Amino acid sequence: MTNELRRMPAEPRMFTAHVVRTRRLSPSFQRVTVAGPDLADFEYQGLDHWFRLFLPTLPGRPLRLPRVEGRSWWQPYLDIPEDVRPHCSNYTVAAVRHGAGVDDLTELDVDVVLHDDEAGELCGAVALWATTCGPGDPLALLDQGVLFDPPEDAGEVVLVGDETGMPGLRGIVRDLPAGTRGRVLVEVPRSEDVEEWAAPEGLDVVWLPRDGRAGRPGELALATLREGPAPRPDAYACVVGESALATGGRRWLVGEGLSKERIFFSGYYRVDAG
Ligand SMILES: Cc1cc2nc3c(=O)[nH]c(=O)nc-3n(C[C@H](O)[C@H](O)[C@H](O)COP(=O)(O)OP(=O)(O)OC[C@H]3O[C@@H](n4cnc5c(N)ncnc54)[C@H](O)[C@@H]3O)c2cc1C
């Protein structure tokens, strides 16, 4: 069974919610806080817990959701007529606060990367939504569980991500046991996106702001990973973000002798996906 399936709920649940507020965390991240009675049952597992985000096709349109049976939802999703099919993308749970909202509602934060097209205009359906949505706007979340899944004998962790992996790496670093050793490489667009993380003493967190450096997201993190040190044979590695970072990172780690079973890698998006 692949890592994704091992820690994915057997019966993923769809949660409906609404936007409560948004705020700019830093130049490249917009935090959207959502809430709803449904979320009282959301069992947050921490780490890089993620979900499928469903948004109405257009603002003001009703949210039509696919039927979920067991782990199956994709075909019912495609069966929804295109003009009313919701937009669907993958996001990480940045935080959950049970009972913290108005009327004791559960609040959940999502940190959305703001990225531009070649003309310098903000682009991406979710980035546009995150900067324009308002209180009461509907959405839904399909719980997908946790991806980070180290073997019990892991002697160190090697965590690498670009800005889209940042919320997940933040959750992992927050939840790792105190004695964890290893290295975290976090690439972000700008120095102002760098955060202060409380990390286990033996975990070296290295921030890599691009600050206008040419190249696609993830290149800096990949180049830094390749500079070494090589992973220990008992390491567990997690490389996520732009597709070339994920595949290139895995290739380098395997070349340095780390077995494939000890590497989780995932291309979260492609810069040239169209
Ligand atoms: C498990 C998982 C967790 C994730 N968690 C987060 C998260 O917490 N926060 C987050 O912001 N993203 C996260 N992502 C990445 C996110 O799903 C993608 O960035 C996705 O493309 C955004 O959806 P969208 O519908 O807005 O993009 P689309 O509208 O599909 O994309 C439009 C265009 O933008 C490009 N693009 C998309 N994202 C970026 C980017 N970040 N930088 C540059 N170009 C981009 C695409 O290539 C495409 O050409 C996660 C992905 C996965 C698989």
Q: Where are the domains of the chain?
A: 3-145, 156-269
Phi/psi at 131 (nearest 5 deg)?
-95, -5
Nearest CA to ligand 1 atom 40: 115
- The pLDDT value given to residue 3: 60
Which parts of the chain register pLDDT below 50?
1
What is the Cα–Cα distance from 101 to 105, expressed in whole angstroms?
5
What is the Cα–Cα distance from 225 to 246, expressed in whole angstroms?
11
Nearest atom in ligand 1 to 272's CA: 47
Write out pLDDT tens, residues 206-237.
999 999 999 999 999 999 999 999 999 999 99
Nearest CA to ligand 1 atom 21: 269
- The pLDDT value given to residue 103: 86
What is the Cα–Cα distance from 46 to 44, expressed in whole angstroms?
6
Write out pLDDT tens, residues 61-91.
889 999 999 999 999 999 999 999 999 999 9
Please work out, in degrees rounded to the nearest 5, the angle formed at the alpha carbon of residue 196 by the alpha carbons of 195 and 202: 125
DSSP characters over 11-24: S--EEEEEEEEEEE
For the Cβ of 70 lying below 6 angstroms from any atom of ligand 1, the answer is: no
Kindly report the pTM of this predicted structure: 0.97
The second-level CATH assignment, the architecture, of 156-269 is 3-Layer(aba) Sandwich (3.40)
- The pLDDT value given to residue 110: 98
- The pLDDT value given to residue 50: 98
For the Cβ of 116 lying below 6 angstroms from any atom of ligand 1, the answer is: no
**For 3-145, CATH number?**
2.40.30.10
For the Cβ of 273 lying below 6 angstroms from any atom of ligand 1, the answer is: yes
Write out pLDDT tens, residues 19-30.
999 999 999 999
Tell me, in angstroms, the distance from the centre of ligand 1 to residue 103's CA.
32
Whether the CB-CB separation of 157 and 236 falls below 8 Å is answered with yes
- The pLDDT value given to residue 1: 41
Tell me, in angstroms, the distance from the centre of ligand 1 to residue 244's CA.
14
CA distances from 92 to 169, 231, 268 (A): 10, 26, 11
Nearest atom in ligand 1 to 163's CA: 41
Q: For all residues of the chain together, what is the average pLDDT?
A: 95
Q: Where are the alpha helices (DSSP H) in 23-62?
A: none
Tell me, in angstroms, the distance from the centre of ligand 1 to residue 49's CA.
16
- Count other C-beta atoms under 10 Å from residue 101's C-beta: 18
Tell me, in angstroms, the distance from the centre of ligand 1 to residue 19's CA.
19
Tell me, in angstroms, the distance from the centre of ligand 1 to residue 179's CA.
33
- The pLDDT value given to residue 211: 98
Tell me, in angstroms, the distance from the centre of ligand 1 to residue 113's CA.
7
Tell me, in angstroms, the distance from the centre of ligand 1 to residue 123's CA.
10
For the Cβ of 271 lying below 6 angstroms from any atom of ligand 1, the answer is: yes
Please, which residues have CB within 8 angstroms of residue 104's CB and are 6 or more apart in sequence?
A: none
